């Protein structure tokens, strides 16, 4: 059983304060991962975290996004540095509770070509899993042919891991309990974008990082079922449950 789990940036950081963790939320999440890994399930777990109050601030400062690049190495390094700092914090918490976590930095591993197609080799992650490690990757900057460097979101890393590893399950754990309908209730299951387009308030095909519409669209394309759920449901997800909204 291979599981790819994203811990949302808004969950593990304090979005209101620059480069500040949400200590309680991060500890609760890493404790849940430790319990699951210690208990032997899921067998293979690859983690990804978002940027929260770390990377987004510097991406905005330098005007860099998934489509707008920079050739300024200092700017790229500042964005990347904030993400590796956050990654170190996440790794440290995981090691504190004996999870054999190792970092995977997209900047050092992948690139986009001139058509913006992402190349992110999966062999490192596969070998880490095979050796019993828990790879922990993150949103980052990435070299982009013709644009210098652009942002790669944690969601893009999740999708690449899920397809490359032929994952059985994907989880997006964040500050929302699932995908909400127009009345604010959590939708149980989504298997067609058309059914929820109105409730999600948009169907912009270019919206791959921000917004639930883009997330749902991307997750519908995966072979594996994906679950969008809140922090309280993380233990249930890791135990094989189906919390929040199932998208497949
Ligand atoms: O928080 C964004 O990743 P996300 C990555 O998963 C950076 O969208 C560096 C802003």
Any known ligand binding at 154?
A: yes
Distance 133 CA to ligand 1 centre (A): 24
pLDDT digits (tens, 9 = 90+) for 147-188: 999 999 999 999 999 999 999 999 999 999 999 998 999 999
219-to-14, 50, 130, 209 alpha-carbon distances in Å: 26, 16, 25, 12
Report the percent of the chain where pLDDT is more than 70: 96
| pLDDT at position 209 over 80 | no
pLDDT digits (tens, 9 = 90+) for 119-136: 999 999 999 999 999 999
Q: What are the residue boundaries of the structural domains of the chain, listed by start?
A: 2-247
CB atoms within 10 A of CB 92: 12
What residues contact 237, with CB distance under 8 A and at least 6 apart? 5, 169, 171, 173, 227, 229, 243, 244
ipTM for this model: 0.98
Q: Give the ligand 1 atom nearest the CA of 141.
A: 9
Do strands 148-152 and 189-190 pair parallel, antiparallel, or not at all (unpaired)? unpaired
| pLDDT at position 204 over 70 | no
pLDDT of residue 210: 60
51-to-10, 17, 32 alpha-carbon distances in Å: 8, 13, 20
Question: How far apart are alpha carbons 148 and 2 in whole angstroms?
Answer: 34
* Residues counted in the chain: 248
Of 38 and 30, the structure prediction assigns the larger pLDDT to 30
Would the CB of 75 count as within 6 Å of ligand 1? no
Any known ligand binding at 8?
A: yes
Would the CB of 78 count as within 6 Å of ligand 1? no
Q: Give the ligand 1 atom nearest the CA of 157.
A: 6
- The CATH classification number of 2-247 equals 3.40.1160.10
């Amino acid at each position: 059983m291979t599981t790819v789990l994203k811990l949302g940036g808004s969950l593990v950081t304090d979005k209101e304060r620059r480069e500040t963790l949400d200590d309680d939320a991060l500890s609760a999440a890493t404790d849940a991962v430790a319990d699951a890994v210690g208990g032997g399930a899921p067998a293979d777990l690859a983690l990804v975290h978002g940027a929260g109050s770390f990377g987004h601030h510097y991406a905005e400062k330098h005007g860099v996004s998934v489509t707008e690049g920079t050739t300024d190495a200092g700017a790229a390094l500042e964005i990347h540095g904030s993400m590796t700092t956050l990654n170190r914090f996440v790794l440290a918490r995981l090691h504190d509770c004996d999870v054999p976590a190792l970092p995977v930095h997209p900047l050092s591993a992948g690139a986009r070509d001139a058509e913006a197609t992402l190349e992110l080799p999966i062999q490192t992650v596969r070998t880490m899993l095979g050796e019993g490690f828990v790879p922990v990757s993150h949103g980052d900057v990435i070299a982009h042919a013709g644009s210098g460097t652009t942002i790669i979101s944690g969601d893009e890393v999740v999708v690449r891991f899920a397809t490359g590893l032929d994952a059985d399950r994907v989880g997006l754990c964040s500050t929302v309990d699932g995908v909400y309908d127009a009345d604010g209730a959590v939708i149980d299951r989504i298997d067609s974008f058309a059914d929820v387009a109105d409730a999600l308030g948009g169907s912009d095909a270019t919206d791959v990082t921000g917004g639930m519409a883009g997330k749902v669209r991307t997750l519908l394309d995966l072979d594996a079922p994906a679950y969008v759920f809140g922090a309280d449901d993380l233990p249930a997800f890791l135990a094989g449950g189906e919390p929040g909204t199932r998208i497949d």
